[in-house]
Amino acid sequence: MPSLKDLKIRIESVKSTRKITKAMQMVAAAKLRRAEENAQAARPYADRMNAVLSNLAKGAKDSPSAPKLLTGTGQEKTYLLIVATAERGLCGGFNSSIVKLARTEANKLQSEGKTVKIITVGKKGREQLRRDKADLLVGHVDLSEVKQVGYDNAHGIAMDVLSRFAAEEFDVCKIYFNTFKSVISQIPTAVQLIPATFDTVEGGDDKGTLYDYEPEEEAILADLLPRSIATQIFTALLENAASEQGARMSAMDNATRNAGEMIDKLTIQYNRSRQAAITSELIEIISGAEAL
């Protein structure tokens, strides 16, 4: 049975933990709003890019001289997985869920006899993957100095991936990240970057506007595909940033609530043992008086 003083110290320490988690929750909420706005602002560019490219790709897919970024290298032996996670923890299952998805796919690919290479973005994913996939890690992108992901960060990653592709280090490239659905729901997602795939544009463009291309289609395609990869990576990073804050917010909300429950329990225990002490003291006095 802990003494009254011990209990009091416990209660105080849980109270300050609650203050910290509450503060972290509010910081995450503020950051989440910004991250969501950023993701929203980036959408028009990504959508247009996708629309134009899917239009172009439809025509070029069968051409023998189509860029390799679109058609692939003709084989599927080596996979490059980009695993994008957060730089910091304390955000619930955010990092683990991405790593889990990537790990499952890596295992599956390996059991099919493919070679897997992994590039990690963000410290947390690297830490988790180093445990059992250390020999597959071929690169790491550190974003810990970056307060807010910009297009330049994505551009840098894309350049690295493209130079590896040019050096024929891999055939297929996929990126793993969390899609932001809501504060309580982030969905681990995999998107294939190379060979390029495009969401079919819904409605509207079905009439298939005939565009003039300047310079000719293939030159444009060769120019746009690398940009589109950077854009897709950028979208992934933005989704990730929003998801991270959302996950942290709900994790910290839970932590705050748990701390509250704990304080209630400890307070009851504190009061009970205080009353027990008083009662036993009274009994001692009364029985002492009766003995006289």
- Binding residues for other proteins, rule: CB under 8 A, are 38, 41-42, 44-46, 48-49, 52, 56, 150-151, 154-155, 209-215, 219-220, 223-224, 227, 230-231, 234
- Is the preceding omega at residue 67 within 30 degrees of 0, hence cis? no
Beta carbon nearer to other proteins, 131 or 207:
207
Beta carbon nearer to other proteins, 46 or 137:
46
Instruction: Tell me the CA distances in angstroms from 263 to 17, 18, 196, 258, 269, one per residue in order.
Output: 11, 9, 54, 9, 10
Beta carbon nearer to other proteins, 223 or 261:
223
Residue 45: CB minimum distance to other proteins, A:
5
Residue 70: CB minimum distance to other proteins, A:
16
Residue 68: CB minimum distance to other proteins, A:
14
Beta carbon nearer to other proteins, 19 or 43:
43
Cα–Cα dist 239/180, whole Å: 6
Residues ≥6 apart with Cβ < 8 Å to 138: 80, 117, 118, 119, 169
Nearest of 103, 117, 94, 57 to residue 252 by alpha carbon? 94
Q: Report the SS3 class of residue 83.
A: strand
Beta carbon nearer to other proteins, 204 or 288:
204
Cα–Cα dist 46/48, whole Å: 6
**Active-site residue, from 91, 172, 194, 242:** 91
Beta bridge mates, 82: 119, 175
Residue 21: CB minimum distance to other proteins, A:
32
Residue 245: CB minimum distance to other proteins, A:
18
Q: How many CA atoms lie within 13 A of 43 on its CB side?
A: 8
Cα–Cα dist 191/148, whole Å: 22
Please confirm, yes or no, whether 91 is among the known catalytic residues: yes
Cα–Cα dist 226/196, whole Å: 10
- Which residues are tagged catalytic? 91
